[in-house]
């Protein structure tokens, strides 16, 4: 299933297609030693749902999972771990395996492949230093090329005029410079290309409003240079320096790859059955870069293979079409392409599409997409009801999840084709009520290995997988026999999601991994900057009316309205500070572990009320801002102050909502006395709260004041080691802090530095990366009277190049 955030990026290559382009692959003949699956109906009976379900066995699913993992391992030479991401050997062999598995079934199916062009990019690591600062907001643009030789580059920052959309905005010669460009109306790719044409070695795009900036360079250009995005706040000090004539140095490092590839969808359709009335179902064949994707979506891929294999024992009245999509994790590329090139006549032959993504999450819930005919092509609700009826017949509980465009049904719904599906959960948090319904652990993800390396053979719950594969078999058998009672397909345009506010188009929140909506609220850091005066406001927009008494509350509401202005349904009332605030519960539940827990298994279209009682409305206002912007996981654990972090650190044990507000306040707001920075860092790491990390990083940066004594080296190493790789900010600060303090730290701590450094060799290589050139490294090493043990090989000038190759920038 496509996630909300990822580092590998891809996009469909520009193309114009007027008709369905599906290249037929000749059917392979079955080997004589294998059973022959013929489409002949002379000895076969019409498919029966109970009989087909009875053929589903866990041993067969598990055997295929082990095979798929072996295929993912074929990518280890390139990626250093198993993966089936598009463009990898693992994915290519996954496609070949699917094709061969179906081909070995004989002439029961017609197999076709559908190749389509895509551009794919992988960002392995990046870093940006402006002056002596590491911008915390720095992000790599997707589809960016690497820096030269995938090594750090150094140059002077040059401010580009206007918005950098015209060649005339750039100086005639930007050779070996880093272009600083304002965000504007032209594409990021245009800015990067013009910077490259002017000779720049890298480009930094800064936002023209508050907040960070990210995006894609789009179609690759030979003139693109490594391109970063930073916030307006991070850029302004450097802009002022440049305007005043002060020079600013920059170090940029980007290890990335961009390539144009062709990848493939596999389609298998029964040769028997009414070819003008097809029952279609699909799963995606690719994984994310990070892991083998055995649950996501190896489980769906295998379920379809198993059902397709067992179906050959029966005849069908309506054709059944199985699809394995490529590029789902990169933004639903394969399924989008398939629907986009379907001629109208072919589109109408598809009576329905059923999506099966993540069928065996370890901490599973039986989830049904809550598709209704009011918001989707007619027939979607009938699919939903089929799943409901089956779970109830088996005596199994189920829950609804939003039909929000996050998987491969999206293109079909937009193409006017009825859709639906089931899942078992991804990165959502399981509630206590769901534990009562399905078992498992509350407060944990449905799949703790979602989009990670550990999504391997051991990451599937066999009970859930078998149950859902039987349900897939039931859906196929039911509609392969008869479509009686299922709505007829009408005109494609009329069947498409309408422009009504309740339609799919206006309620969808995601398109695969891309967030379609974002509550663009400045989290916490901007809260104190707002006018603190009180005022009364009555806000009345469609479906939402609120009376608030704090200007901060109006600020919150205004941003929420940006999403809700087309929503007629508001089904959650939050009461605080004596006021009621109505919202759409999906917004808050998707962003907040607290609200998801408080609402438990909410019913669609049912109004819930959550009342919060606290003695500090300002803290609650700030916390509510946080809920609608950042989100966090609910982790019920007491955080006790220990002697190792100093006696002034106090016990922070509160009801979770108020607790996080107080932790935020500890980062330096007016509400509470700040905690020591090192204690705050442990809190932010444990709770994995991005907004708090940024504030902790800022506070920790302030601790780098040259007039203060340096923090203990042991603490610096601890911060570096324990900060997750995905959060480079704190690692970078630790490195930069040491780089500025190395001689003094060595003088003050002596052998303890030697011991600390020897434990973390990658820390050494990161410091070297920031220093930059060989000459600068040599000079730095010369300044160290007695290099500690961890530096010996790196400070040996004769070994510098090999040291760089064996760990530079890790």
Q: How far apart are CA 204 and CA 122, in angstroms?
A: 19
Query: Residue 40 belongs to what H/E stretch?
Result: none
The CA angle 503-300-344, to the nearest 5 degrees, is: 45
Token pair 């020591």 in the structure block, residue = 676
pLDDT higher than threshold 90 for residue 474: yes
Average pLDDT over residues 710-736: 59
How many alpha carbons lie under 13 Å from residue 567 in its C-beta half-sphere? 21
Q: Tell me which of 36-45, 132-141, 194-203, 358-367 is least confident.
A: 36-45
329 φ, ψ (degrees, to nearest 5):
-70, -15
Count Cβ atoms below 10 Å from residue 673 Cβ, excluding itself. 9
Average pLDDT over residues 11-38: 34
Nearest to 505 by CA among 403, 379, 353: 403
292 φ, ψ (degrees, to nearest 5):
-80, -15
Tokens representing residue 573 in the block: 């009332």
Q: Tell me which of 152-166, 193-207, 535-549 is least confident.
A: 535-549
- The DSSP bridge pattern shows strands 318-325 and 274-284 to be parallel
**Residue 601 DSSP label:** S
Average pLDDT over residues 466-494: 89
| pLDDT at residue 252, as a whole number | 95
Q: How far apart are CA 429 and CA 656, in angstroms?
A: 15
pLDDT higher than threshold 90 for residue 202: yes
Average pLDDT over residues 503-508: 52
Average pLDDT over residues 579-587: 46
| pLDDT at residue 301, as a whole number | 99
Q: What is the largest CA-CA distance in the chain?
A: 90
Count Cβ atoms below 10 Å from residue 689 Cβ, excluding itself. 22
Nearest to 677 by CA among 657, 651, 655, 648: 648
- The DSSP bridge pattern shows strands 314-315 and 45-46 to be parallel
Exposed, middle or buried by CB within 10 Å (0-12, 13-18, 19+), for 30? middle
| pLDDT at residue 617, as a whole number | 40
Q: Is 578 left (phi over 0), alpha (psi -120 to 50) or beta?
A: left
Q: Tell me which of 147-151, 583-587, 702-706, 714-718 is least confident.
A: 583-587
Contact 406, 339 (CB under 8 A): no
pLDDT higher than threshold 50 for residue 601: no
Contact 353, 414 (CB under 8 A): no
Q: Tell me which of 195-209, 491-505, 600-614, 629-643 is least confident.
A: 629-643
Token pair 């967030």 in the structure block, residue = 515
Alpha-carbon distances of 119 from 10, 83, 220, 563, rounded to whole Å: 5, 18, 8, 31
Contact 799, 793 (CB under 8 A): yes
Q: Is 733 left (phi over 0), alpha (psi -120 to 50) or beta?
A: alpha
Average pLDDT over residues 714-725: 62
| pLDDT at residue 122, as a whole number | 81
Tokens representing residue 413 in the block: 């719904």
Average pLDDT over residues 37-51: 79
Count Cβ atoms below 10 Å from residue 37 Cβ, excluding itself. 18
pLDDT higher than threshold 70 for residue 171: yes
Mean pLDDT of all residues belonging to the chain: 71
| pLDDT at residue 405, as a whole number | 79
Contact 262, 145 (CB under 8 A): no
Alpha-carbon distances of 785 from 708, 740, 750, 796, rounded to whole Å: 23, 16, 11, 13
pLDDT band, residue 708 (cuts 50/70/90): low
Q: How far apart are CA 422 and CA 369, in angstroms?
A: 6
pLDDT band, residue 471 (cuts 50/70/90): very high
How many alpha carbons lie under 13 Å from residue 215 in its C-beta half-sphere? 22
Over pLDDT 70: what percentage of the chain?
Answer: 55
Q: How far apart are CA 717 and CA 352, in angstroms?
A: 56
Single pTM value for the model: 0.55
270 φ, ψ (degrees, to nearest 5):
-60, 140
Contact 108, 268 (CB under 8 A): no
Question: Looking at 149-237, which runs of residues are DSSP E strands?
Answer: 153-159, 177-182, 202-206, 226-230
pLDDT higher than threshold 50 for residue 349: yes
703 vs 479, which has greater pLDDT?
479
Q: How far apart are CA 308 and CA 106, in angstroms?
A: 12
- Residues 6+ away with beta carbon under 8 Å from 36: 30, 106
Highest mean pLDDT among 167-176, 627-636, 744-753: 167-176
143 vs 101, which has greater pLDDT?
101
Contact 785, 742 (CB under 8 A): no
| pLDDT at residue 782, as a whole number | 58
Q: Tell me which of 133-137, 314-318, 641-645 is least confident.
A: 641-645
pLDDT higher than threshold 60 for residue 165: yes
| pLDDT at residue 73, as a whole number | 97
pLDDT higher than threshold 50 for residue 638: no
Q: How far apart are CA 767 and CA 725, in angstroms?
A: 16
Q: What is the 3 state secondary structure string of 684-697?
A: HHHHCCHHHHHHHH
Q: How far apart are CA 513 and CA 494, in angstroms?
A: 28
Average pLDDT over residues 451-463: 94
309 φ, ψ (degrees, to nearest 5):
-65, -45
Question: Looking at 201-293, which runs of residues are DSSP E strands?
Answer: 202-206, 226-230, 249-270, 274-284
| pLDDT at residue 625, as a whole number | 39
Tokens representing residue 260 in the block: 């144009």
Exposed, middle or buried by CB within 10 Å (0-12, 13-18, 19+), for 148? middle
| pLDDT at residue 26, as a whole number | 28
Contact 670, 692 (CB under 8 A): no
Would you state the torsion angle of the CA atoms of residues 328, 333, 339, 341, taken in this order, to the nearest 10 degrees? -150
224 φ, ψ (degrees, to nearest 5):
-60, 145
316 φ, ψ (degrees, to nearest 5):
-135, 150
Tokens representing residue 360 in the block: 């065996």
- What is the DSSP secondary-structure string of 724-764? -TT-HHHHHHHHHHHHHHHHHHHHHHTHHHHHHHHH-HHHH
Q: Tell me which of 1-15, 59-73, 542-556, 704-718 is least confident.
A: 542-556
pLDDT higher than threshold 80 for residue 354: yes
pLDDT band, residue 645 (cuts 50/70/90): very low
429 vs 214, which has greater pLDDT?
429
Q: How far apart are CA 311 and CA 53, in angstroms?
A: 10
pLDDT higher than threshold 90 for residue 319: yes
Contact 765, 808 (CB under 8 A): yes
pLDDT band, residue 281 (cuts 50/70/90): very high
Exposed, middle or buried by CB within 10 Å (0-12, 13-18, 19+), for 588? buried
pLDDT tens digits, one per residue of 356-392:
999 999 999 999 999 988 888 999 999 999 999 999 9
- The DSSP bridge pattern shows strands 510-511 and 534-541 to be unpaired
Residue-range domains of the chain with CATH: 9-119+264-488 (3.40.630.10), 132-247 (3.50.30.30), 518-676 (no CATH), 704-805 (no CATH)
Tokens representing residue 161 in the block: 């005029």
Nearest to 360 by CA among 435, 453, 467: 467
| pLDDT at residue 406, as a whole number | 78
Q: Tell me which of 179-188, 233-242, 252-261, 626-635 is least confident.
A: 626-635
| pLDDT at residue 606, as a whole number | 38
Catalytic residues: 328
Helix axes 713-722, 751-759, angle to 10 degrees: 10
Helix residue ranges, H only, 135-253: 188-197, 232-243
- Residues 6+ away with beta carbon under 8 Å from 89: 74, 75, 77, 78
- The DSSP bridge pattern shows strands 579-583 and 572-576 to be antiparallel
23 vs 371, which has greater pLDDT?
371
pLDDT higher than threshold 50 for residue 559: no
pLDDT higher than threshold 90 for residue 663: no
Q: How far apart are CA 598 and CA 784, in angstroms?
A: 57
pLDDT band, residue 43 (cuts 50/70/90): confident
* Four-residue CA torsion sign, 353, 358, 360, 363: negative
Burial 773-797 (b: 16+ CB within 10 A, else e): eeeebeebbeeeeebbebbbbbbee
Q: How far apart are CA 317 and CA 45, in angstroms?
A: 11
pLDDT band, residue 526 (cuts 50/70/90): very low
pLDDT band, residue 671 (cuts 50/70/90): very low
How many alpha carbons lie under 13 Å from residue 243 in its C-beta half-sphere? 7
Nearest to 89 by CA among 106, 68, 75: 75
pLDDT higher than threshold 60 for residue 679: no
First-to-last alpha carbon distance for the chain, in angstroms, is 29
Contact 127, 255 (CB under 8 A): no
């Amino acid at each position: 299933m496509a996630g909300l955030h990822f580092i590998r990026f891809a996009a469909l290559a520009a193309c114009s297609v007027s008709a369905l382009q599906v290249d037929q692959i000749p059917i392979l003949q079955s080997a004589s030693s294998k059973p022959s699956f013929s489409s002949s109906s002379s000895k076969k009976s019409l498919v029966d749902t109970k009989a087909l379900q009875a053929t589903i066995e866990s041993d067969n699913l598990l055997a295929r999972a082990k095979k798929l993992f072996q295929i993912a391992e074929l990518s280890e030479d390139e990626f250093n771990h198993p993966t089936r991401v598009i463009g990898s050997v693992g994915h290519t062999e996954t496609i070949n395996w699917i094709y061969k598995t179906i081909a070995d079934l004989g002439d029961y199916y017609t197999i076709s492949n559908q190749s389509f062009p895509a551009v794919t990019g992988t960002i392995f690591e990046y870093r940006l230093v402006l002056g002596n600062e590491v911008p915390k907001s720095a992000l790599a643009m997707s589809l960016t090329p690497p820096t030269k030789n995938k090594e750090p580059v150094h140059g002077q920052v040059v401010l580009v005029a206007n918005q950098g959309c015209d060649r005339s905005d750039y100086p005639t010669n930007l050779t070996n410079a880093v272009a600083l460009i304002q965000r504007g109306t032209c594409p990021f790719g245009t800015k990067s290309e013009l910077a490259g044409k002017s000779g720049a070695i890298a480009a930094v795009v800064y936002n023209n409003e508050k907040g960070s900036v990210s995006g894609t360079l789009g179609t690759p250009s030979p003139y693109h240079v490594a391109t970063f995005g930073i916030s307006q706040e991070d850029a302004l000090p450097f802009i002022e320096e440049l305007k005043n004539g002060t020079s600013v140095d920059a170090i940029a490092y980007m290890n990335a790859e961009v390539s144009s590839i062709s990848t493939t969808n596999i389609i298998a359709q029964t040769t028997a059955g009414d070819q003008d009335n097809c029952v279609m179902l699909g799963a995606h064949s690719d994984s994310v870069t990070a892991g083998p994707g055995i649950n996501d979506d190896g489980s769906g891929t295998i379920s379809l293979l198993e059902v397709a294999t067992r179906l050959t024992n029966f005849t069908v009245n309506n054709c059944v079409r199985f699809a394995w999509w490529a590029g789902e994790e990169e933004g639903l590329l394969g399924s989008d392409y398939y629907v986009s090139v379907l001629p109208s006549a072919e589109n109408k032959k598809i009576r329905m599409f059923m999506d099966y993504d993540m069928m065996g999450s370890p901490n599973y819930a039986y989830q049904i997409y809550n598709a209704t005919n009011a918001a989707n092509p007619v027939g979607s609700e009938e699919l939903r009801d089929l799943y409901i009826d089956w779970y109830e017949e088996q005596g199994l509980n189920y829950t609804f999840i939003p039909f929000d465009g996050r998987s491969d049904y999206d293109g079909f719904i937009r193409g006017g084709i009825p859709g639906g599906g089931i899942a078992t959960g991804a990165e959502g948090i399981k509630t206590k009520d769901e534990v009562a319904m399905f078992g498992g652990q509350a407060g944990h993800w449905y799949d703790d290995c979602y989009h990670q390396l550990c999504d391997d053979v051991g990451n599937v719950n066999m009970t859930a997988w078998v149950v859902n594969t039987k349900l897939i078999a039931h859906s196929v058998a039911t509609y392969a026999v008869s479509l009686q009672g299922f709505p007829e397909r009408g005109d494609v345009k009329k069947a498409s999601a309408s422009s009504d506010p309740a339609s799919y188009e206006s309620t969808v929140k995601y398109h695969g991994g891309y967030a379609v909506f974002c509550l663009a609220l400045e989290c916490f850091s901007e809260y104190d900057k707002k006018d603190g005066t009180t005022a009364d406001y009555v806000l009345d927009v469609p479906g939402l009316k609120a009376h608030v008494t704090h200007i901060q509350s109006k600020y919150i509401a205004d941003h929420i309205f940006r999403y809700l202005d087309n929503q007629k349904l508001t089904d959650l009332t939050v009461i605080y500070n004596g006021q009621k605030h109505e919202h759409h519960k999906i917004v808050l539940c998707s962003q907040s572990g607290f609200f998801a827990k408080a609402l438990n298994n909410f019913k669609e279209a049912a109004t819930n009320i959550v009342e919060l009682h606290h003695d500090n409305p300002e803290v609650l206002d700030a916390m509510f801002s946080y809920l609608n912007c950042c989100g966090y996981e609910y982790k019920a654990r007491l955080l006790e102050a220990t002697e190792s972090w100093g006696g002034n650190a106090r016990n922070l044990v509160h009801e979770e909502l108020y607790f996080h507000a107080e932790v935020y306040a500890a980062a330096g707001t007016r509400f509470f006395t700040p905690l020591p920075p090192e204690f705050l860092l442990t809190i932010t790491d444990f709770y994995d709260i991005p907004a708090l990390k940024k504030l902790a990083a800022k506070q920790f940066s302030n601790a780098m004041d040259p007039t203060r004594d340096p923090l203990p080296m042991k603490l610096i190493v601890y911060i570096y080691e324990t900060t997750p790789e995905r959060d480079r900010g704190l690692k970078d600060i630790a490195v930069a802090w040491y780089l500025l303090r190395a001689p003094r730290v060595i003088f003050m701590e002596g052998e303890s530095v030697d011991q600390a450094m020897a434990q973390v060799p990658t820390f050494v290589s990161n410091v070297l990366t920031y220093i930059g050139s060989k000459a600068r490294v040599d000079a730095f090493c010369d300044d160290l009277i007695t290099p500690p043990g961890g530096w010996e090989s790196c400070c040996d000038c004769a070994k510098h190049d090999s040291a760089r190759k064996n760990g530079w920038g890790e």
